[in-house]
Structure 1
Amino acid sequence: MQTGEPSRTAYSAARYRADHQELERGAVFRDPLARAIAGDGSAGGYLDDDARRRMRLFIAARSRYAEDALGEAVAAGAGQVVVLGAGLDTFAYRNPFPRLRVFEVDHPDTQQWKRQRLAAAGIEVPASVTYVPVDFEHDALELALPAAGLDVGSPVFVIWLGVTVYLTADAISDTLRALGGLAGGCEMVFDYGLPQADVTPGQQAVAAERDRRLAAIGERWISRFTPDGISDLLHDNNFRVVENVPALALAQRYLGRTPTATAGPQLVRARLGG
């Protein structure tokens, strides 16, 4: 993103979630606030209809996967969730867990933009929400979170979607190291981009067009990992992989079928401790 401007990729993701509510009737992921915060207009205008549908379903599925995992963590005793790179995510404003505190972490410019959109849409900010302004490339997450009121001695669940591909490997490692220092324990879900050699020719064509569009707005994918590489990085920061989920497996899980191709990064669920 550009300093002084909100994240355009966050805007695009919000529009994909909103489009899913209308075009697939929220079959994978229900978000009644998606259109209100995203506004009018559809995402992925540079893609053909099939590619847009695949991307919509992936973005819906990754949100569904993360929030299902969060629900399991809350049932097991987690009372805090940190949404890293929250963008226009709406979980905090439809949170079904009365005792769950939500810490939204994002660049201050994006947070200011989001709060303006929330106000314009008439979406109330619950008392359970805390905004934590952080630039992942420069700010210390381990200082920002407790300063905002996070109880580092109690279990924390972390949702980190659509962010790591835009960060350097050092920034990703620093974030994992900060989360690995939480005394009360941490579980998280995040997504990551695969190396170009690990995707199909069709996915490579979509990726090339995506990269061209990102370059036009001053953004680009920076970091990519193999599943083994992400497992090693997590292990180095005291996390163990619970599940590493390809996008195709998400489609099978939530749609009951496997499409010939799908778009988007891969998801991983990890837990602190060994």
Structure 2
Amino acid sequence: METGQASKTAYSAARYRAAHQVLEQGSIFRDPLALRVLGADAENLEQDAPRRGMRLFIAARHRFAEDHLAAAVGRGVRTVVVLGAGLDTFAYRNPHAGLEVIEIDHPDTQAWKRERLAQAGLAVPANLRYVGIDFEKQSLGDELELDGPAFFLWLGVVPYLSEEGFGETLKFVARESGSEVAFDYAQSPERMPAERRAALEARAARVAKLGEPWLTFFEPEEIAADLEKLGFGEIEDLGPSQLAARYFDRPDVPPETPGGHVLHARRV
């Protein structure tokens, strides 16, 4: 993203979440604040109907992550860290009593978000705090202190990080036994069939023009190896086939279909 400006892809992700509330009535992921924080009305979002694939993936990744978060709270986790929060609304609809929320993002994006919250009439909860960080220039460990294990919501961020930036953040997440993380990642376009590869490369070109290019791709075996080296276990990694079967009532997607993945892991 450009210095002095909010993340444009953060707006796009928020628009997909809001459009899902309108076009699919939030059937996969319910977010009653999505339209308010976006500042859009339902009629305006009807034009997003053709972008169904990405919209459903984003809805599924939030459902997957927040389901795992709820289970972590049940195990005693009392802090959630939202990495690259953008216009994420979890902190403002948090259903878990006593759960502290820390939003991490670029200061310019955080300032923009707070303007939107004010315009939407959404108050900042007492159990929320903001920490401004540029992931490529600052260390999360230098800016954030945690007391005990935490759950890290890390959605829509990993492809925009360098491998070094991703690795350093993952090391911080792994510091505390019992900490958990949910994130999404993309497989390389080189693994895609021609039609899907063309669509992915077109999207990559669009976000690159916004100044936020995709930098990092992974294969499932690479991610699993990185996590295991850092002490993570209980890894659940859902690719297109598993996501389609669990959330879209589509058991017919071939198991080896490449694409976007969502993953949860717990530091043992």
Same fold per TM (> 0.5)?
yes
* CA contact 1:118–1:124 (8 Å) conserved in 2: yes
Alignment partner, residue 21 of structure 2: 21
Alignment partner, residue 92 of structure 2: 93
Offset from partner CA, 1:5-27 (integer Å, 9 cap, x none): 11111100000000000000000
Alignment partner, residue 255 of structure 1: 248
CA distance in 1, matches of 2:184, 2:14: 16
The counterpart of 2:154, out of the listed 156, 160, 168, is 160
CA distance in 2, matches of 1:258, 1:2: 41
TM-score of the superposition, structure 1-length normalised? 0.90
Offset from partner CA, 1:96-118 (integer Å, 9 cap, x none): 01110001011111111101100
Shift of the alpha carbon at 1:44? 8.9
Offset from partner CA, 1:226-274 (integer Å, 9 cap, x none): 001111121232223521110331221123224769996211111112x
* CA contact 2:28–2:60 (8 Å) conserved in 1: yes
Shift of the alpha carbon at 1:43? 9.5
CA distance in 2, matches of 1:167, 1:74: 28
1:131 matched to 2:126? The reply is no
* CA contact 2:244–2:253 (8 Å) conserved in 1: no
Shift of the alpha carbon at 1:215? 2.4
Counterpart amino acid of 2:114? R
Counterpart amino acid of 1:257? R
CA distance in 2, matches of 1:55, 1:89: 17
Shift of the alpha carbon at 1:201? 2.4
CA distance in 1, matches of 2:11, 2:46: 9
* CA contact 2:173–2:180 (8 Å) conserved in 1: no
Alignment partner, residue 189 of structure 1: 182
1:139-154 aligned at under 5 Å gives the runs 139-146=138-145, 150-151=146-147, 154=148
The counterpart of 2:168, out of the listed 154, 174, 177, is 174
Paired residue secondary structure (2:144): helix
Shift of the alpha carbon at 1:124? 1.3
1:270 matched to 2:262? The reply is no
RMSD: 2.0
Alignment partner, residue 11 of structure 1: 11
* CA contact 2:192–2:258 (8 Å) conserved in 1: no
1:217 matched to 2:216? The reply is no
Alignment partner, residue 231 of structure 1: 224
Paired residue secondary structure (1:30): coil
CA distance in 2, matches of 1:210, 1:175: 25
Paired residue secondary structure (2:201): helix
CA distance in 2, matches of 1:11, 1:263: 26
Paired residue secondary structure (1:249): helix
Counterpart amino acid of 1:169? E
Alignment partner, residue 31 of structure 1: 31
Alignment partner, residue 199 of structure 2: 206
Offset from partner CA, 1:58-96 (integer Å, 9 cap, x none): 100000000000000001101000010011000000000
Change (3 A) 1:74 1:181: same
Q: Point out where structure 2 has 5 or more consecutive residues left out of the alignment.
A: none
Change (3 A) 1:214 1:93: same
Q: Point out where structure 1 has 5 or more consecutive residues left out of the alignment.
A: none
Paired residue secondary structure (1:220): coil
TM-score of the superposition, structure 2-length normalised? 0.92
Counterpart amino acid of 1:194? Q
